[in-house]
Amino acid sequence: MSAGGEGAGSPEPAPSLELVGIDKRFGEVHANKAVDLVVRRGSIHGIVGENGAGKSTLMSIVYGFYEADAGEIRVNGRPVRIRAPREAIAAGIGMVHQHFMLVEPLSVLDNVMLGAEGGALLRAGARKARAELERLSTEYGLAIDPDAIVGDLPVGLQQRVELLKALVRGADILVLDEPTAVLTPEEADHLFRLLRVLASEGKTVILITHKLREIMAVTSRVSVMRRGEMVATLDTADTSPGQLAELMVGRRVLLRVEKGPARLGALRLQVQNLTVVDAKGTPRVRDVSFGVHAGEIVGVAGISGNGQSELLEALAGMRPIAGGRITLGSTEIGPELRDPHVLRRRGLLHVPEDRLRMGLVPPFEACESAILGFHEEERYRAGPLLSRDAVIEDTREKMESYDVRPPAPLLRTSKFSGGNQQKLVLAREIERSPKVLLVGQPTRGVDIGAIEFIHRRLVALRDAGVAILLVSVELDEIMGLADRVVVMCGGRVTGERLTSETDERELGLLMAGVSEQAA
Amino acid sequence: MDVFGFGIAIFDSGVRLAVPLLFACLAGLWSERSGVVDIGLEGKLLVAAFAAAAASHRFDSAWVGLAAGIAASIAFALVHGFAVISQRGNQIVSGVAINMLAAGLTALVGNAWYGQGGRTPPLEGAMRYQPLTLPGAEQAAAVPVVGRLYAYVVSGHSVLVYVAIAAVVATSFVLARTRFGLRLRAVGENPAAVDTAGISVTGLRYAAVVIAGVLCGMGGAYLSLDQAAAFLPLMTAGKGFIALAALIFAKWRAWPAFWTCLLFGLLDAVAIRLQGVVVPGVGQVPVQAIQALPYALTVILLAGFIGRAIPPRASGTPYVKER
């Protein structure tokens, strides 16, 4: 890695943040192996890598959550010891966490002040913090009501509070961990504009993400991590998404799924005026209608929390419906059929969004997780008992054909990586030759290599004539896989498009609830 | 006795019965707002009552008794704190252990020292708290209504009653208006947010647990040094648990906790007064039924009348840094 060479003429300013030989082990796991990193002042520096590559651990070390076993952190050329977040804050490092570190029942002002109260009594500090929020709001367009309760704010604004916390504390180095996961493309663009302004004022931004498109769009430098090692640091202008993906995985990967045009068959799943109400009585899905034919993938796009999850659960029979009709093939799914077990037998299979909560039982052996819901089938039976041999043998076969690693049916489910767990769920559902397959967030927390595999499988299934409903918050995934896309916002369908006739900008506007005409 | 006098008498005894509840309830409030569930309020009250009575008897001073009660309660609070904050143990199990330890230990030591079946000898004179007469109370008693209220309701309680009310004011103020209060409220909801803000979660929770210890210490001392003038085995009689109910009823806020405890105290006082009274149409109501009244009301109130009481989100869960 070469970091020098620039800044010819004047003596080169010290890098804003420098990591030298950072090493960290968690028991058996070697999370960071002698990592070096140089981040220049005023730059936006991307860090990419697969899940478990060590990005988050590295940043946790920078923010003082963990202490490195070996290595040195330098801020503005001076070595610093960072043993706790307090010391990181003092060194001018601010962090926007992926899972917001906010106290939801408290106000924006209280959250911003927490840890920087400016005195034993709150009154004086509150006045100062209010003024500071006012200033940041006018300077950067980060308007927010200081007295709003954080828990009532939409996620986009909650993230703004996180950012404001760091800025109010005078952070010079901002670390953002997967900041766009909760944003609409529109909001993400706004965030990126803001990051550019901050960088132009001399602040340093470190952006952790797995979206290569964002790296290309906003960063000036990018570092790639793989299996705890820093494998490369490049100027963004000199690289390409393909090269970055290859560096992340260690082999060539296809970022786009190859697929031909869809050959539509009969209407397999029809949803008419569906309404779903949650336990508190709030409508989550309002008057939704669409259909899925055999041989096509219909995507449901939307920012997380806009009714897609409830839609999926209602279709799978896991949630009662408050109104409307669901028709599977030619049968209307009346209340007596609205049961996951019954629906599965009728050919409607479901890969749930949250595999650890609904798809698998993490403490179970893999082979037990691999037959969940189908344990009553004849082939697993030995008299009145379950035939363990049959279960293990069956799982071994599935693991082989779905490339689950390690292929160990007796290993605890929770020991597998996200991608391999997901393959296990897919194998279980797909093997029952579905007529309709409901798929929720198939690649959430799944690494690039496995994403490629899962996407290829889904397309193959489509070509074999299965009707697939794909719910995903990853717009890239919807654009790459789906033939048609239904966009949801606030529980309603705000638009339906053929993926070949739309683009991410238009879908983004629909996701934000901008009306059809305006879009 | 006139109606006014009867009302004052009921109110007066209601206040007395409410004081230990109020101390325990505020103790629970501090602990739970920081994220530590404290089911051991009962045990802390009991051990404080015993330590206060024993020390007061030995040194002939209620003040020494109070100090001993507070010290004993803090010691138990620290055991709970060590188990659940440092060792991340189960908060319910630790609380139950505290209660059992307190019940057994007080009876055992009491019997070994005094040989009276676990009681301490009766406390007299300087060993117990005497009612204070506030300035001007005697003259005011002659003035109708306002003067009598001052003389009989405001004046004439022992010092701990006034401390209890001061504790409500202090709790409300500190939680809402101070840095410590903000941090404490935050740590009970999302300790990770507090940790990333550079503040010690452990330190805050220990502070809260110790404050709970001090308050329980005063509540227990009030029981033996004022109300009963001796320690009796199991004299807390479930007050620590009723305080937990009051805490939920008050939704973990200081002033509502005050009113709730006062209500429970008054109910208790009414129940005592009603014993043996013939109710028209029903006849004499059994003593047990009347004694059960406050408890039945507690259940009914908790079940239906307070709406959703949402506890601090992190209460009951030890803080573990995520990997």
Domains and CATH numbers, chain A: 1-92+172-248 (3.40.50.300), 99-170 (no CATH), 257-347+434-519 (3.40.50.300), 360-432 (no CATH)
Cross-chain residue pair A85–B197, CB shorter than 8 Å: yes
Question: Contact A260/A246 with Cβ under 8 angstroms?
Answer: no
A286 vs B153, higher pLDDT: A286
- Whether the per-residue pLDDT at A251 is higher than 90: the answer is no
Q: Report the alpha-carbon distance of residue A236 to residue A224 in Å, rounded.
A: 11
- Whether the per-residue pLDDT at B266 is higher than 80: the answer is yes
- A149 and chain B in contact, CB less than 8 A: no
Q: Report the alpha-carbon distance of residue A421 to residue A402 in Å, rounded.
A: 11
> What are the pLDDT digits (tens) for B162-189?
999 999 999 999 999 999 999 999 999 9
- CB atoms < 10 A from the CB of A240, how many? 11
Percent of chain B surpassing pLDDT 70: 97
> What are the pLDDT digits (tens) for A46-61?
999 887 788 888 999 9
For residues A310-332, give the mean pLDDT.
93
For residues A83-92, give the mean pLDDT.
93
> Minimal CA–CA distance to A44: which of A168, A173, A179?
A173
Q: Tell me which CATH code domain B3-128+139-305 carries.
A: 1.10.3470
Q: Report the alpha-carbon distance of residue A388 to residue A380 in Å, rounded.
A: 8
- Whether the per-residue pLDDT at A81 is higher than 80: the answer is yes
In Å, what is the CA distance from A171 to each residue of A98, A103, A133? 18, 20, 14
Q: Which among B177, B178, B198 is the nearest to A86, CB-wise?
A: B198
Q: Where are the domains of chain B?
A: 3-128+139-305
> Minimal CA–CA distance to B37: which of B164, B208, B215?
B208
Q: Which among A95, A114, A121 is the nearest to B186, CB-wise?
A: A114
What b-and-e string marks burial along A314-330, b requiring 16 or more CB atoms within 10 Å of the CB? bbbbbbebbebebebbe
Percent of chain B surpassing pLDDT 90: 62
Residue B110, judged by CB atoms within 10 A of its CB (0-12, 13-18, 19+), counts as buried
- At B306 the pLDDT is 65
Q: Is A31 helix (H, G, I), strand (E, B) or coil?
A: strand
- At A518 the pLDDT is 44
Q: Is A437 helix (H, G, I), strand (E, B) or coil?
A: strand
> Minimal CA–CA distance to B158: which of B228, B210, B214, B238?
B228
Taking contacts as CB-CB distances below 8 angstroms, the residues of chain B near A87 are 198
CA distance B203 to chain A (A): 14
- Whether the per-residue pLDDT at A6 is higher than 50: the answer is no
Taking contacts as CB-CB distances below 8 angstroms, the residues of chain B near A97 are 196
Phi, psi of A382 (to 5 degrees): -135, 90
CA distance A73 to chain B (A): 18
- At A4 the pLDDT is 42
- At A9 the pLDDT is 47
A412 bridge partner residues: A365
> Over chain B, what is the mean pLDDT?
90
- At A519 the pLDDT is 40
Q: Is A11 helix (H, G, I), strand (E, B) or coil?
A: coil
Scan residues 285-324 of A and list those with Cβ closer than 8 Å to B.
Answer: none
Cross-chain residue pair B198–A89, CB shorter than 8 Å: yes
- At A19 the pLDDT is 95
A223 bridge partner residues: A47, A233
- Whether the per-residue pLDDT at A515 is higher than 80: the answer is no
Q: Report the alpha-carbon distance of residue A250 to residue A374 in Å, rounded.
A: 37
pTM for this model (two decimals): 0.79
Q: A3-7, A187-191, B3-7, B254-258: which range is least confident on average? A: A3-7
Question: Contact A217/A192 with Cβ under 8 angstroms?
Answer: yes
- At A3 the pLDDT is 43
Q: Where are the alpha helices (DSSP H) in B82-158?
A: 91-114, 137-140, 146-149
Query: Which residues of chain B have a Cβ shorter than 8 Å from any chain A Cβ?
Result: 177-183, 185-186, 189-190, 192-199, 313, 321, 323
Q: Which among A97, A113, A123 is the nearest to B196, CB-wise?
A: A97
Cross-chain residue pair B194–A114, CB shorter than 8 Å: yes
> Over chain A, what is the mean pLDDT?
89
Cross-chain residue pair A122–B194, CB shorter than 8 Å: no
For residues B77-87, give the mean pLDDT.
96
- A124 and chain B in contact, CB less than 8 A: no
- Whether the per-residue pLDDT at B317 is higher than 90: the answer is no
Cross-chain residue pair B178–A89, CB shorter than 8 Å: no
Cross-chain residue pair B177–A122, CB shorter than 8 Å: yes
- Whether the per-residue pLDDT at A516 is higher than 60: the answer is no
CA distance B139 to chain A (A): 41
Q: Which among B179, B186, B189 is the nearest to A120, CB-wise?
A: B179
> What are the pLDDT digits (tens) for B209-247?
999 999 999 999 999 999 999 999 999 988 999 999 899
- At B236 the pLDDT is 92
> What are the pLDDT digits (tens) for A121-155?
999 999 999 999 999 988 888 889 999 999 988 88
Q: Give residue B304's pLDDT band: very low, low, confident or very high (50, 70, 90).
A: low
Question: Contact A361/A369 with Cβ under 8 angstroms?
Answer: yes
For residues B109-117, give the mean pLDDT.
92
Structure tokens given for B316: 């009951």
- Whether the per-residue pLDDT at B57 is higher than 80: the answer is yes
Q: Is B201 helix (H, G, I), strand (E, B) or coil?
A: helix
- At A2 the pLDDT is 42
Q: Give residue A395's pLDDT band: very low, low, confident or very high (50, 70, 90).
A: very high
- Whether the per-residue pLDDT at A8 is higher than 50: the answer is no
Taking contacts as CB-CB distances below 8 angstroms, the residues of chain B near A92 are none
A45 bridge partner residues: A206, A221
State the sign of the Cα–Cα–Cα–Cα dihedral A95, B198, B187, A128. negative
- A105 and chain B in contact, CB less than 8 A: yes
Give ipTM to 2 decimals: 0.88
State the sign of the Cα–Cα–Cα–Cα dihedral A225, A230, A231, A237. positive
Q: Which among A111, A115, A125 is the nearest to B199, CB-wise?
A: A115
Cα nearest neighbour of A116 on chain B: B197
Q: Report the alpha-carbon distance of residue B8 to residue B157 in Å, rounded.
A: 13
Q: Report the alpha-carbon distance of residue A204 to residue A183 in Å, rounded.
A: 22
- At B287 the pLDDT is 73
List all residues 6 or more positions away from B10 whose beta carbon is below 8 Å from its beta carbon. Answer: B266, B269, B270, B273
- CB atoms < 10 A from the CB of B92, how many? 14
Q: A253-257, A354-358, B271-275: which range is least confident on average? A: A253-257
> What are the pLDDT digits (tens) for B32-46?
999 999 999 999 999
Question: Contact A110/A141 with Cβ under 8 angstroms?
Answer: no
- A506 and chain B in contact, CB less than 8 A: no
Structure tokens given for A227: 């299996």
Strands (E), A184-322: 204-208, 221-226, 229-235, 267-277, 283-293, 297-301
